[in-house]
Amino acid sequence: MEAREEYAGFWVRVGATFIDVAIIMVVVTPITLKIYGAEYWTNTRLIIGGWDFLVNWVLPAIAIVLFWHYKSATPGKMMLRLYIADADSGGKPSTRQLVIRYLGYFVSTLPLCLGLVWVGID
């Protein structure tokens, strides 16, 4: 019988995500403030402009997928000794799978993070 890896629990994954978000904010916040100034924090629009979309949405998404592709983990996952593997083979997921994974995270956060909360409860 083949030994299977154990999946990381919900809370350790949440911890890895908090680490990743903190790292992303340390990088993105100074850039955003340099471009838009302090008024950025008082603006009520979701996306202020092209630079906002690029710096706060596109570049973090690319960075996350690249980390998954080259390291099989984000910095937060690496700090907690977690990695991403294909559920069927146990090997490295394809780039297509990683992009779909990211889009799945994104979709799960749209309705007040209910998709992610559901995973924690289930």
Q: Is 68 part of any domain?
A: yes
CA gap 27, 29 in Å, rounded = 6
| 76 pLDDT tier (thresholds 50, 70, 90) | very high
The per-residue pLDDT for 4 is 64
Name the residue range of residue 84's domain: 10-93
Tally of structural domains, the chain: 1
pLDDT exceeds cutoff 70 at 2 = no
Say which amino acid occupies 59. Answer: L
**Residue keyed to tokens 């099989």:** 72
Quick check: helix, strand or coil at residue 93? coil
Q: Is 105 part of any domain?
A: no
Q: Is 2 part of any domain?
A: no
Q: Is 121 part of any domain?
A: no
**Residue keyed to tokens 């154990």:** 6
Q: Is 27 part of any domain?
A: yes
Closest CA to 33 of 18, 55, 64: 55
Q: Is 36 part of any domain?
A: yes
pTM: 0.82
Quick check: helix, strand or coil at residue 97? helix
Q: Is 26 part of any domain?
A: yes
Q: What is the DSSP string of 26-60?
A: HHHHHHHHHHH-GGGGG--SS--SHHHHIIIIIHH
CA gap 65, 13 in Å, rounded = 16
Q: Is 41 part of any domain?
A: yes
What confidence tens digit (pLDDT) does each residue in 52-74 have? Answer: 999 999 999 999 999 999 999 99
